[in-house]
Chain A
Amino acid sequence: DIVMTQSPDSLAVSLGERATINCKSSQSVLSSSNNKNYLAWYQQRPGQPPNLLIYWASTRESGVPDRFSGSGSGTDFTLTISSLQAEDVAVYYCQQYYSTPFTFGPGTKVDIK
């Protein structure tokens, strides 16, 4: 299984400031056949199902605000919220879909400072 780790476990950021979450996979999720990273990011607000934010490591899902961006390749990835808004308080998960079983990171909780 590909093990996903995230850091930090939680962070508190002032409104309007940048939040950065890191995700690491135990093996590369970059496909040599199509040069795509099989990595997604999800946001889960309290009491809600997860919501897809980013796929292919850096492609924003339709309707997702452009303050969310994803970067990285191979085994190291980052989700950045450029200017934190109150509605961004949530837990964020990375997930690899390179190979089964698909696996999620443990999550990073983002709060307002």
Chain B
Amino acid sequence: QITLKESGPTLVKPTQTLTLTCTFSGFSLSTSGVGVGWIRQPPGKALEWLALIYWDDDKRYSPSLKSRLTITKDTSKNQVVLTMTNMDPVDTATYYCAHRLWGPGGDCYSYDYWGQGTLVTVSS
């Protein structure tokens, strides 16, 4: 059974760096064909894709946020960490991590298991 759970601060100040941890079970990021992504959703607004990391440490970032994002993995702890620098009130959102769906043909470019999300508020 695959589960994911996000953790991190609920409140950060403008200009600070946000560090979020996704702790998962039911799969390993050292296994071929596995990936974990981060998606966020401002209150009352749409989903926004942020970043993705694969088992082989290949990383993808949203072009508009690439300069502020870093995604890393710790396979021994079954964790993926997302850091976002220079936080601003517009970054207030629920942040989700999600498991990448992988099929017989390879990457299915979608997310089949999601964490419950963690709300991060940016305010002084």
A binds B: no
